[in-house]
Chain A
Amino acid sequence: MNETKNKSFQKAFSAAFPHTIPVLTGFLVLGMAYGVLMQTKGYGTLWSVLMSAIAFCGSMQFVAITLLTAAFNPLQAFLLSVMVNARHLFYGISMLEKYKGLGKVRAFLIYTLCDETFSISSSVTPPEDIDRKYFYLSISLLDYLYWVLGTFLGSVLGNFVTFNTKGLDFVLTALFVVLFLEQMKKIENRIFGLIGIACTVVALVFFGASNLVIPAMILILLVLLGMGRKKICC
Chain B
Amino acid sequence: MLLTPTQTVIMILAIALGSMTTRFTPFFLFPEHKEPPKIITYLGRVLPPAMMGLLVVYCLKGVSLKTAPHGIPELIAILVIVALHKWKNNVLISIGGGTLVYMVLVQTVFR
Contact = CB atoms under 8 A, between A and B. Distances in A.
B27 to A, nearest CB: 6
- Main SS class of interface, A: helix
A54 B17 CA distance: 9
- Residue picked from B49, B56, B61, most chain A C-beta under 10 Å: B49
A43 B8 CA distance: 10
A77 B18 contact: yes
Interface residues of B, number: 70
Contacts of B32: 96, 99-101, 106
Given A74-B10, A174-B95, A196-B52, A166 B57 contact: no
Interface string A173-207: 11111111111100001101111111111001000
> What band does the interface of chain A fall in when counting residues whose beta carbon is under 8 Å from B?
35 or more
B67 interface: no
B91 A220 contact: no
A101 to B, nearest CB: 7
Contacts of B48: 94, 122-123, 183, 189
Interface of A: 18-19, 21-22, 25, 41-43, 47, 50-51, 54-57, 60-61, 64, 67-70, 72, 74-75, 77-82, 84-97, 99-101, 106, 110-111, 113, 115, 118-119, 122-123, 164, 166-168, 170-184, 189-190, 192-201, 204, 209, 212-213, 216-217, 220-221, 224-225, 227-228, 231-232
Interface of B: 1-3, 7-27, 30, 32, 36, 38-44, 46-62, 73-74, 77-78, 81-82, 85, 91-92, 94-96, 98-99, 102-103, 105-107
